Structure 1
Amino acid sequence: MTALSLSPTARPRNAVLRLHRPALIVWGVFQLLALSALLWVHLFRAPAARADHSASYFVLTDVNNVMNLLGDVLSYVSIAVAAWAGATLIGRELEDGTARLAWTQSVTPARWLTAKLTASAVPLIAGTTLSALLFAWVWTTDQDVLVTNWSWDRVLVPAGPLSVALVVFALAAGTLAGVALRRALPALAVASGVTYAARYFFGRKWDDIWPDRHFWPVQLTATAVLLALTALALVAAFTLLGRRTDIKGAAV
């Protein structure tokens, strides 16, 4: 093996990137469209709303309608991530035997799962962080023409670290569902349902629950709880995968 050869850890990660390249492309396109729409709101729609309050109303370009739509889409994207993780990233490979094939090529189940999580988490975290920063900046800068309150889920979720925590939790929930159920469609359904429940609970109108709290206390508290749940889900996924492969000799 030459000095330029890939390390054993890098090989499965690169294989994951090749296998799931279409999903990564879709994620990249989605982020590009979301970021472009946010910049369009800030650079064109918000100044137009300030300059002419009597301008004719058009539902598709109204600054509040566009910002609300973007907030809703960005706050629910975690459910799509959970569905993909449960069905495609983990469930399908356990169902059709692709995972077992990888385990026969000097890749342990734990390394296989680690490579999948690492290759998926990096673009998910990077894209969500960037969109959260830009959403928060646009919403803060253009508050004079926006009517939404910080406690509304379409602002609270996409405008801070809660959005990143939800996406990471979705990846972990999908992973655990895939490992536990070993079938693509059931894992998709369970992961989506669990993530939707988390999105609903942590994105609900917090001023009705914690009336004395403000944006950052709520953001940080919800983020900390979600990250703790994410850690528990990942520990459970690795433990369950390890037990099954130990008992059945690397056969799920």
Structure 2
Amino acid sequence: MTAPAVTSTARPRSAALRLHRPALIVWGVFQLLAVGALLWVHVSRAPAARADHSASYFVLTDVNNVMNLLGEVLSYVSIAVAAWAGAALVGRELEDGTARLAWTQSVTPARWLTAKLTAAALPLIAGTTLLGLLFAWVWTTDQDVLVTHWSWDRVLVPAGPLAVALAVLALAAGALAGVALRRALPALAVAAGVTYAARSFFGSTWDDVWPSRRFWPVQLTATALLLVLAALALTAAYALLGRRTNIKGAAV
């Protein structure tokens, strides 16, 4: 009996996973730390705040300070994702010629980009969803000892599908920047800047407008708009990659 053949689609995806294993490890460690911190808030700090309102204040363990810090960190994760996607996932491989080498091994440019985006998107979406659900649960359950309003960016961004949409946009922006610029550092800067602008627009810049609305209409509207932008960025990335690789063979 012969072993089943590995499809050409699976090969570039597994290669992408091997190549970016350090980034996946960092993402996994970050997930564990964030989950641990959120559970610590719920299990330890929130009950302590309820039990003794006159307890001495300590900035590093105050329940509001810890939760606000976690919200800020989670709301800015997408910018780091965009920087990594633009620089390491796409830009660097176009810059050093690794991508062209893959294209000579029966892997089309479109399939190469798809494999990279898929390998990154699956753990990114799963992890962001998990953190969003846990953050929303802790914030809702312990709201009696928290002073933040749902419209504040440190709550609005990480507590719903908006965080996942921002991560998807970050990945798409990084891919487009990497394909367009074909240089790691410029792609890093452009992708991070675009994602930061999107995060600011749908978070902090709209603080005075969001309170007049309800949580879910805001979340779903912002999420839909971000996913449309992500789809446009991905379409542009594939179109640009296809146009460049169709000119003079696989030269980019």
Scaled by the length of structure 1, the TM-score of the pair is: 0.98
% identical aligned pairs = 85
Say whether 1:135 aligns with 2:135: yes
Equivalent-residue separation in structure 1 for 2:152 and 2:113 (angstroms):
36
Deviations 1:151-193 (A, max 9, x none): 0000000000000000010000000000000000000010010
Kindly report which structure 2 residues correspond to 1:57-72, keeping only aligned pairs within 5 A, or say none: 57-72=57-72
Deviations 1:44-99 (A, max 9, x none): 00000000001111000000000000000000010000000000000000000000
Equivalent-residue separation in structure 2 for 1:128 and 1:72 (angstroms):
14
Equivalent-residue separation in structure 2 for 1:86 and 1:127 (angstroms):
20
How far residue 6 of structure 1 moved from its aligned partner, in angstroms, is 1.5
Say whether 1:75 aligns with 2:75: yes
Residue equivalent to 2:47: 47
Residue equivalent to 1:90: 90
How far residue 212 of structure 1 moved from its aligned partner, in angstroms, is 3.2
Equivalent-residue separation in structure 2 for 1:106 and 1:132 (angstroms):
39
Equivalent-residue separation in structure 2 for 1:157 and 1:212 (angstroms):
17
How far residue 8 of structure 1 moved from its aligned partner, in angstroms, is 1.1
Equivalent-residue separation in structure 1 for 2:35 and 2:211 (angstroms):
32
- 8 Å Cα contact 2:151-2:215 kept in structure 1: yes
How far residue 3 of structure 1 moved from its aligned partner, in angstroms, is 4.3
How far residue 207 of structure 1 moved from its aligned partner, in angstroms, is 5.1
Equivalent-residue separation in structure 2 for 1:207 and 1:115 (angstroms):
38
Q: Which amino acid aligns with 1:42?
A: H
Once structures 1 and 2 are overlaid, which stretch shifts more, 110-119 or 201-210? 201-210
Matched pairs, number = 252
Q: Equivalent residue of 2:148, what SS?
A: coil
Q: Which amino acid aligns with 1:144?
A: D
- Structure 1 pair 183/207, CA: closer, same or farther in 2 (3 Å)? closer
How far residue 206 of structure 1 moved from its aligned partner, in angstroms, is 3.8
Say whether 1:32 aligns with 2:32: yes
Q: Which amino acid aligns with 2:138?
A: V
Say whether 1:122 aligns with 2:130: no
- 8 Å Cα contact 1:207-1:213 kept in structure 2: no
Unpaired runs of at least 5, structure 2? none
Q: Equivalent residue of 1:54, what SS?
A: coil
Q: Equivalent residue of 1:208, what SS?
A: coil
- 8 Å Cα contact 2:153-2:207 kept in structure 1: no
Q: Which amino acid aligns with 1:49?
A: A
Unpaired runs of at least 5, structure 1? none
How far residue 4 of structure 1 moved from its aligned partner, in angstroms, is 2.4
Residue equivalent to 1:14: 14
Equivalent-residue separation in structure 1 for 2:93 and 2:64 (angstroms):
43
Say whether 1:235 aligns with 2:238: no
Equivalent-residue separation in structure 2 for 1:210 and 1:39 (angstroms):
28
How far residue 209 of structure 1 moved from its aligned partner, in angstroms, is 2.0
Cα RMSD (Å): 1.1
- 8 Å Cα contact 2:124-2:167 kept in structure 1: yes
Residue equivalent to 1:200: 200
